Structure 1
Amino acid sequence: RGGGGAAASAACACPICLESFQDEAYLDTCFHSFCYKCICQWVKIVSTKRAEPLSSVQCPLCKTVNVSIIHGFDGESFQRHYINQDPRKRHLSHTHELISQFYSIKYITGHTSSVQQFWKQRKYLRKNIWLQTWLRQEIQALTQDENVDTIVYHIHGVIEAFMKRQEKEYTSKTTPPEKKREKFKCLLSDAARPFLLGRTERFVTEVELFLVSHLNIDAYSKVRVQRLKESTSHVSREQDVLPQDRSLEDHYLYFLGDETDCNGEI
């Protein structure tokens, strides 16, 4: 029994300092855990022995190569510390950094007329040729990882499958638009949550807004940059036009004036 207690105690101790975990952290490939400060110190010591900056580090326990340290996990979100702190070395662009900043903006979701018309007038039947590329850029920014093909394939597949079902049901008109929207957001949330955790709800809102906008990626990014500038500067050029309580969805869709349905009819 005594041996079992010692083993349990050891399992709750950091392998580096041999004390109880303080801000428990995990290496991203092998998932061995350490105190965050301990593993960062380990990386620092290893880096002093190399002429070039590290892009990865071997786990002190199993020697598996890892590129980042996951910490600050609270059940919904986590932080990721890359061994190589230069985003250019991780092939993440300035656009990715802007997206990450954008997701830190507080917002209020709302049911706007434009979003409702998107579902009521079946505008979702218009194929969005930019969706997969937009999803990849979005998920790369949220996960701070370049290799997201599996996640993108999964989420894009869920969206495509849903839209194809709607095409088949186009003539039946038995399901109310509100129910279709609710089902879409539920399916998308379930697909994204294992990867995006606490940012899932916001991500689902952003996906819907991108689809509603019918903008290409560059045009949509400009709308976002404007929103980011207004949030950080607290100065809005549309302040005299837009009510202060206007939702994020309203703010986006203020730039959009297309009220036609998928067949070009009013």
Structure 2
Amino acid sequence: MQTENLSIIHNYDGCSFERHYIDPNIPDGFVLTKEQRYRLQCYYTESGFLADVFDVARFWKLQKFLQPNRCLEAWLRRELQALMQEEDVDIVLHHLVGVMESFCKRIKQRRKQETRSAETTNQEQFKAVVSEAARPFVMARTDRFVDELELFLAAGLNLEAYDAIYKQGLEGNNRREIGAASEEREEVEEHNVRTRVTPYLFIFEEDSD
């Protein structure tokens, strides 16, 4: 399915880019949807709490990253729109997809020549090349973006199922954090009570003549 490009990204030097809108009447602004706002908020939460749920380690061990993911472009579009605050992200999206496809082709070509030792190296190299490609566009959120991409690929789910599990996991993680903070506060208060110094009353008597 082809989409109409409403802007052109140019002067990309590996670190920054410029955007030119084809139609000058298009405002330089974009209103996020409810789902995009939620996803943007996820980038400000603690990372890593879903790695075991989606079994990221198994994803790399079985080299499932080499399998195509038909929901990848839809996920990338939503994430990039949320992070870049732009509606037209197709050029960046296809740039990232191209980088990932090239990486997978290289791995497939040398698979027969390598031993079993490569899952950790593959993971590191994949995240490194995607980080380099994404950093000029998502900037400070690059590392978290790559972590979120890894989670989505490892999950192997469509967006609706992925979002449902993600929200459930995030809510559970928030409850655990609140519970841990409450327990820590109670321990501090109990410690303060135990160590509180009771003031002594000193009575000074004057010597009588």
Q: How does 1:68-217 map to 2 (within 5 A)?
A: 68=28, 82=29, 87=31, 92-108=32-48, 114-174=55-115, 176-217=118-159
Report deviation, 1:235: 2.3
Is the partner of 2:68 in helix, strand or coil? coil
Match of 1:220 among 139, 159, 162: 162
TM-score, normalised to structure 1, is: 0.51
* 1:176 alignment partner, SS class: helix
Q: Percent identity?
A: 35
Find the aligned partners of 1:132 and 1:139 in 2 and give their Cα distance: 10
Distance in 1 (alpha carbons) for counterparts of 2:146 and 2:124: 11
Answer yes or no: is 1:235 the counterpart of 2:175: yes
Runs of 4+ aligned structure 1 residues displaced above 6 Å come to: none
The answer as to whether partners of 1:124 and 1:211 remain within 8 angstroms in 2 is yes
For residues 115 and 185 of structure 1, what CA distance do their matches in structure 2 show?
Answer: 13
Deviation digits for residues 92-122 of structure 1 (CA, Å, limit 9, x no counterpart): 3211111111111123589869323222222
Larger Rg: 2
Q: Retained in 1: the 8 A contact 2:51–2:151?
A: no
Count of residues in Structure 1 that have an aligned counterpart in Structure 2? 155
Which residue pairs with 2:11 in the alignment?
none
Partner Cα separation in structure 2 for residue 218 and residue 109 of structure 1: 19
Work out the CA distance in 2 between the residues paired with 1:197 and 1:141.
13
Normalising to structure 2: TM-score of the pair? Answer: 0.64
Distance 1:195 1:29 in 2: 11
Alignment gaps of 5+ in structure 1: 1-27, 31-63, 69-81, 240-266
Could you say if the C-alpha distance between residues 166 and 29 of structure 1 is closer, same or farther in structure 2, counting changes exceeding 3 Å?
closer
Unaligned runs of 5+ in 2: 1-17, 180-209
Conserved in 2, the CA contact under 8 Å of 1:96 and 1:138?
Answer: yes
